[in-house]
Structure 1
Amino acid sequence: MGYLLLALAIAAEVSATVSLKLSEGFSKLGPSIIVVAGYAIAFLALAQVLKSGVPIGVAYAIWAAAGVALVAIIGVLFFRESMNATMVAGLALVIGGVVLLQVGGAH
């Protein structure tokens, strides 16, 4: 159940972050509401993840890395933001770090 809630926390955080861009400095009401609601849901879900027994280091690493990677991909696909090989390598290192935390925590 903890990892299902973690997926919810990630989806809510990514939605909130994308909406932050769409809110244009909180000047657009709809996206601004999604920002506030999304971050609230993300933190509430993350709190439940930690309550379920998922280690804080692993939960936060997965939450942060998935959020960074997904927001970067959305930025490229929907906002025409640039992505180069160095940035891809950086994302791969972040994801690799999360995998190593997960593997290390299993021992």
Structure 2
Amino acid sequence: MPYLVLAVAVLCEVAATTALKFSEGFTRLGPSLIVVAGYSAAFYLLSLSLDRGIPLGVAYGMWAAAGVALVAVIGVVLLGEGLTWVQVGGLGLVIAGVLALELGGQHPQ
């Protein structure tokens, strides 16, 4: 269950970051409200996932990797932004790093 809470936190953060692009420097009310609500919900849910047992380094690593990857995909698919092979490789390395954090913390029982 804590990983589901973390996943929803990431989605809230990604929604807020995407809305930030459309807020035009906080001059547009609708997107600005989504930014504030999204980041507020994201940090609250992140704190719940930590409280429910996900180690800080793992939670933040997953948060960062998933957020960066999703925002990059949204940029390409919805906003027409480019993504080079070097950037794709970088995203892969970030995801591999998070997997290393998660798997490295597993101890056989």
State the TM bucket, normalised to the shorter chain: over 0.9
Equivalent-residue separation in structure 2 for 1:44 and 1:96 (angstroms): 26
| Pairwise CA distance, 1:25 | 0.7
Superposition deviation, residue 5 in structure 1: 0.5
Higher helix share: 1
Kindly provide the amino acid, as one letter, of the partner of residue 31 in structure 1.
P
Which residue number in structure 2 is paired with residue 87 of structure 1? 87
TM-score w.r.t. length of structure 2 = 0.96
**AA aligned opposite 2:9:** A
Q: How much is the aligned-residue C-alpha RMSD, in angstroms? A: 0.5
Pair 1:64-2:64 in alignment: yes
For 2:32 and 2:47, the matched residues in 1 are separated by 23
Structure 1 partner of 2:105: 105
Give the Cα separation in 2 of the matches to 1:100 and 1:87: 20
Q: Which aligned pairs between 1:7-18 and structure 2 lie closer than 5 A? A: 7-18=7-18
- What letter corresponds to residue 27 of structure 2 in structure 1? S
Identity %: 58
Alpha-carbon offset, residue 67 of structure 1 = 0.2
Runs of at least 4 residues of structure 1 off by over 3 A? none
What is the Cα deviation at residue 66 of structure 1?
0.2
Residue 54 of structure 1 deviates from its aligned partner by: 0.7
For 2:7 and 2:84, locate their aligned partners in 1 and report how far apart those are by CA, in whole Å: 27
When normalised by structure 1's length, the TM-score is 0.98
Provide structure 1 residue ranges, at least 5 long, that are not aligned to the other structure. none
In 1, distance between residues paired with 2:17 and 2:106? 31
1:44-89 deviation line (CA, Å, top 9, x unaligned):
0000000001111101100111000000010011111110100000
Number of residues of Structure 1 aligned to a counterpart in Structure 2:
107
Paired position in structure 2 for 1:4:
4
Paired letter, 1:106 = Q
Cα separation, 2, equivalents of 1:53 and 1:88: 31
The CA distance in 1 between the partners of 2:83 and 2:23, in whole Å, is 23
Q: How many angstroms apart in 1 are the aligned matches of 2:81 and 2:18?
A: 13
Tell me what 1:45 maps to: 45
